[in-house]
Every structure is written in structure tokens, then in C-alpha cells.
């Protein structure tokens, strides 16, 4: 097989099927880590008395790791193959989750942020390997649909995260600044310590499960497509990607998509409590859960519709819908704004895999390094939520949703251009 050729199908064997199932499971694993972020934003605001701009650093620490490790992950895949990258990514993921235990004991916010950075560095390896591998396991013309199918299982992770977070992390104990100031120092200390320690057990269990899964994946046989190593002397230079305008636009679109997703999910619990005064945090968590359920339904519905409607045409319509919904969330407020904000998850669900598949289509041997750049663009989830946090602190929380409005305008433009791209 030439170094400039990427295989397009695996043999119809039990080995290939087992490998595909394991790869699809990874989407749920990183969805779980991502889904916890919205819970952590709320929890750390209480445990460390943070404003929105400080609490949203949860997303910043998490998503900046993708930018840092995406290119190393791509080079790692070239040198050692997809399977090795998956195992290494799972080991990093487990290490970051286990770091939550000492971080809670130390009660240091920035140690938690460091642990999140380690988790996401592992996810950079997982996503850089799993996304392109799924697109290569079949005909190119159905790559977007196949990746949407695999990404559908990603939605089960956030749903599980909310259920776990609501039951084991969120305490429903909230005090106003005046109440905290009047509280005896010993009681306040116990309150802050309890809120910080609440994350220990869930992340300890998560770390152990992911570690065991890494060992399992390491022991399972994968088809050649997942273990092939690309000869370095024959690898095409990454600079060739600069001649691919559609790919470059895809990187930009992915940057804005992840920023919209991270910012929306990170602030939906605070938005719910702002929109509906007096709503308890565990009740507000149901709004995040509703978003994730809508996301899951959207993924499966989108995958089904792609059998009849072109994937990029579908994404064009979804971007238009979210343009309208985020404007309603920003300007209407109340239950109307909250329902509109939750509904954006249904329409955003198809965007990441569709952008990814469209951007790398036809790149051949450039696919691996191109995937790295697309994963690097996930830094949008680090930067755009910061802008949303600043708007929330300086004006009003609902106005922060104008940032996702801008994001969906960019995605609309990419989707329109993609419809004529072969």
C-alpha cells in the first residue's frame, strides 16, 4: 500500500467489527468528560466563590489542551498508528480524572484546572484518531453519515454526566454572599470543603473505569487500518493543506462550532437560574440534561435524514435554526429563552461530525495531519466561552448568547459553500 493511499474499508471480519464497536465507545467516553464541564462550572462557582469569567476557565483549561496536543497526536498517529494513539489517549484521560482526588484534598481551583487539562490532552489523542478512522471505514460518499452515527453515541456521555453530577456532585445547598458573610468561619470552611470534595468520588470511579478500558483496548486485535504506520520519508508535507481553501474554512467553522457548544453548555445552568428566579441548582441541571437529550435525538435523527438529504444541506438548515434560537435566548429570557437555548442542542448535534467529514474529504494521505488541525480548532471551546463569561459579568447573562449567534452565522456560510464541494 502506498503511503499516499488511505484504505477505505476494513475486511468483513469479527476483528474489524470488534474494533469498530470499541472505537464507537470512545465517543461516549469523551462525551462524558465534556458533559461534566457544565456541572463543574456551577460547582466551582460555589466551592471557590468565582464570577462567571473565572468559573468558565473550566472550559478554557479543557479545550486549550486540544490545541496544544492535536499536532503531537497527529504525529504520534503517523509514527505508531491509530490504535496506539487510542490507548495513550485513554491513559492520559484516566490520569487526569485520578488527579481530581488530590485536587479536592488541596482545595486549589488551579489544580483542578490542571487535571482538566490532562483529561483533555488525552481526549485530543482520542478524537484525532477516532474521527478520521471512522470516516475511513467505508465509502467516502457516506463518511459524513457514518461519522454522525458514531458521534450519536457521544451524546450518551453528557446525559450520564448530568445524571451523575446531579446525584453525586450538586448538593442543592446555595447561599447568598450576605448569608456566607454572616456564617461562622468554621461553618463556611466546612461548606466550601464539602463542595470541593463532592467531585472526588465520581472522578475517582471515572479514572479507574477509563484505565481498565485502556488495558482492554490494548489487548484486543485491530484490523491493519488501525495499526498501519506511515513511512515518514513518504509523508506529504502539511504545508499542502494551505492550498485547500475548503479545508481551511472547515477549521474555522469547527473553531466557532466548539465555542458555541462549550459556551452554551457551560452557562445553561446559570442561565436557567437567571431566567427563572428561585430555581434550585438540581432543577436547573435538568435543563442541561434536556439539552443533552435533544443533542442525542438530533444526532440519531440527523443520521437517518442523511440517507435522504445531503449532509451539508441539512447543516445549512440547522445553522439557520440556531441563529434564530440563540437570538431568542439572548433577547427574550424567561421560559421562552430557556427553551430556545436548550433546543439549540438538537440542531447543533450534526455539526461537528459533518464539518469534520466535509473538511477532510478527498485529502488522502493528508487526512491524518488534517485531522490534527481540525482537533486544534477545538480551542474555540477555550476562547469563545471566555468572551461569553465577560459579557455575562459586565452586562447580563442572556446577552452572552449573542456569541453563539455569530458562531452559527459562520457555520451557515461554511455549510453553504460545502454543498458544491466534492
**CATH code for the domain in which residue 376 is found:** 1.20.1250.20
3-state secondary structure of 277: coil
pTM of the model: 0.80
Model confidence at 1, pLDDT cuts 50, 70, 90, reads very low
| Model confidence at 137: pLDDT above 80 | no
Tell me what pLDDT residue 419 has: 65
Q: Say how far apart CA 56 and CA 52 lie, in whole Å.
A: 6
Place of cell 455539526: 351
Q: Are 195 and 46 in contact (CB under 8 A)?
A: yes
The three cell numbers of residue 377 are 480548532
Residue pLDDT, tens place only, 250-264: 999 999 999 999 999
Q: 208-249 pLDDT, tens per residue?
A: 999 999 999 899 887 676 667 665 556 677 778 888 999 999
pLDDT tens for 328-366 read 999 998 999 999 999 999 999 999 989 988 998 888 878
pLDDT digits (tens, 9 = 90+) for 162-195: 999 988 998 888 887 888 888 888 988 999 999 9
What DSSP string runs through 324-378? HHHHHHHHT-HHHHHHHHHHHHHHHTTHHHHHHHHHHTT-GGGHHHHHHHHHHGG
Q: Nearest-5° angle of CA 393, CA 269, CA 327?
A: 70
Mean pLDDT of all residues in 284-308: 90
| pLDDT at residue 304, rounded to an integer | 86
Dump the DSSP string for 83-152: HHHHHHHHHHHHHHHHTHHHHHHHT-HHHHHHHHHHHHHHHHHHHHHHHHHHHHSS-GGGHHHHHHHHHH
Burial of 265 (0-12, 13-18, 19+ CB in 10 A): buried
Give a yes or no: residue 9 inside a domain. Answer: no
Q: What is the pLDDT of residues 29-68, one digit of tens each?
A: 988 998 899 899 999 999 999 998 899 999 999 999 989 9
Query: Does 29 fall in a domain?
Result: yes
How many whole angstroms separate alpha carbon 108 and alpha carbon 105? Answer: 8
Q: Which three cell numbers stand for residue 29?
A: 467516553
CA distance 244 to 421: 11
User: How far is residue 125's CA from residue 147's CA, in Å, rounded to a whole number?
Assistant: 17
Per residue in 77-127, pLDDT (tens digit) is: 888 888 899 999 999 999 999 999 999 999 999 999 999 999 999 999 998
| Cβ contacts of 56 within 8 Å, gap of 6 or more | 41, 263, 266, 267, 385, 386, 388, 389
Residue 8, in any domain of the structure: no
pLDDT grade, residue 13 (50/70/90)?
A: low
- pLDDT at residue 4 greater than cutoff 80: no
- Is a pLDDT exceeding 70 seen at residue 308? yes
User: Measured between alpha carbons, how far is 242 from 232 in angstroms, rounded to an integer?
Assistant: 20
Domain span at residue 247 reads 14-231+238-418
169 located within any domain: yes
Q: Which pairs with CB-CB distance under 8 Å and at least 24 residues apart come from 47-52?
A: 47/107, 47/109, 47/192, 47/195, 47/196, 47/198, 48/109, 48/192, 48/196, 49/177, 49/180, 49/192, 50/109, 51/389, 51/393, 52/267, 52/270, 52/389, 52/392, 52/393, 52/397
Domain for residue 336, yes or no? yes
Q: How far apart are CA 355 and CA 345, in angstroms?
A: 16
* Local confidence band at 5 (pLDDT 50, 70, 90 cut-offs): very low
Instruction: Enter the C-alpha cell of residue 258.
Output: 466548539
Is position 1 within any domain?
Answer: no
Report the C-alpha gap between 343 and 232 in whole angstroms: 46
Tell the residue number behind the cell numbers 437529550, with chain if given. Answer: 293
Mention every residue, 6+ apart, whose C-beta is less than 8 A from residue 400: 263, 267, 330, 387, 388, 389, 391, 392
* Cα→Cα distances 157→51, 96, 134, 366, Å: 27, 17, 19, 30
Q: Provide the domain count of the chain.
A: 1
19 pLDDT exceeds 60? Answer: yes
Give a yes or no: residue 7 inside a domain: no
Q: Whose grid coordinates read 485520578?
A: 98
Amino acid at each position: 500500500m502506498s503511503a499516499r493511499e488511505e484504505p477505505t474499508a476494513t475486511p468483513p471480519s469479527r476483528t474489524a467489527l470488534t474494533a469498530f464497536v470499541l472505537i464507537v465507545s470512545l465517543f461516549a467516553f469523551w462525551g462524558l468528560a465534556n458533559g461534566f464541564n457544565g456541572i463543574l462550572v456551577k460547582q466551582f462557582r460555589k466551592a471557590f466563590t468565582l464570577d462567571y469569567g473565572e468559573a468558565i476557565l473550566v472550559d478554557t483549561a479543557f479545550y486549550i489542551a486540544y490545541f496544544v496536543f492535536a499536532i503531537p497526536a497527529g504525529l504520534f498517529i503517523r509514527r505508531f498508528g491509530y490504535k496506539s494513539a487510542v490507548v495513550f489517549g485513554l491513559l492520559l484521560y484516566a490520569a487526569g480524572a485520578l488527579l481530581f482526588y488530590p485536587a479536592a484534598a488541596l482545595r486549589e481551583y488551579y489544580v483542578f484546572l490542571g487535571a482538566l487539562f490532562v483529561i483533555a490532552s488525552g481526549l485530543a489523542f482520542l478524537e484525532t484518531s477516532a474521527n478520521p478512522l471512522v470516516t475511513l471505514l467505508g465509502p467516502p460518499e457516506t463518511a459524513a453519515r457514518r461519522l454522525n452515527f458514531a458521534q450519536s453515541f457521544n451524546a450518551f456521555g453528557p446525559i450520564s454526566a448530568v445524571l451523575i453530577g446531579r446525584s453525586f456532585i450538586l448538593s442543592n445547598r446555595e447561599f447568598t454572599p450576605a448569608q456566607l458573610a454572616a456564617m461562622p468561619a468554621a461553618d463556611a470552611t466546612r461548606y466550601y470543603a464539602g463542595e470541593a470534595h463532592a467531585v472526588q468520588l465520581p472522578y475517582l470511579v471515572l479514572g479507574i473505569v477509563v484505565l481498565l478500558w485502556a488495558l482492554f483496548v490494548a489487548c484486543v486485535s485491530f484490523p491493519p487500518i488501525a495499526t498501519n504506520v506511515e513511512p515518514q520519508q513518504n509523508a506529504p508535507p502539511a504545508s499542502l493543506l494551505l492550498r485547500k481553501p475548503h479545508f481551511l474554512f472547515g477549521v474555522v467553522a469547527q473553531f466557532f462550532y466548539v465555542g458555541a457548544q462549550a459556551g452554551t453548555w457551560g452557562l445553561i445552568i446559570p442561565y436557567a437560574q437567571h431566567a427563572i428566579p428561585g430555581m434550585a441548582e438540581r432543577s436547573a441541571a435538568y435543563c442541561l440534561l434536556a439539552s443533552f437529550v435533544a443533542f442525542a435525538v438530533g444526532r440519531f435523527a440527523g443520521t437517518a435524514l442523511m440517507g435522504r438529504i445531503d449532509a451539508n444541506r441539512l447543516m445549512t438548515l440547522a445553522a439557520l435554526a440556531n441563529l434564530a434560537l440563540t437570538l431568542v435566548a439572548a433577547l427574550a429570557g424567561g421560559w421562552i429563552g430557556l427553551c430556545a437555548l436548550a433546543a439549540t442542542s438538537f440542531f447543533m448535534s450534526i455539526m461537528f461530525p459533518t464539518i469534520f467529514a466535509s473538511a477532510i474529504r478527498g485529502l488522502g494521505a493528508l487526512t491524518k495531519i488534517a485531522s490534527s488541525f481540525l482537533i486544534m480548532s477545538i480551542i474555540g471551546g477555550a476562547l469563545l466561552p471566555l468572551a461569553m463569561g465577560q459579557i455575562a459579568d459586565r452586562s447580563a447573562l442572556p446577552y452572552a448568547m449573542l456569541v453563539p449567534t455569530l458562531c452559527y452565522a459562520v457555520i451557515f456560510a461554511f455549510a453553504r459553500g460545502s454543498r458544491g464541494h466534492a
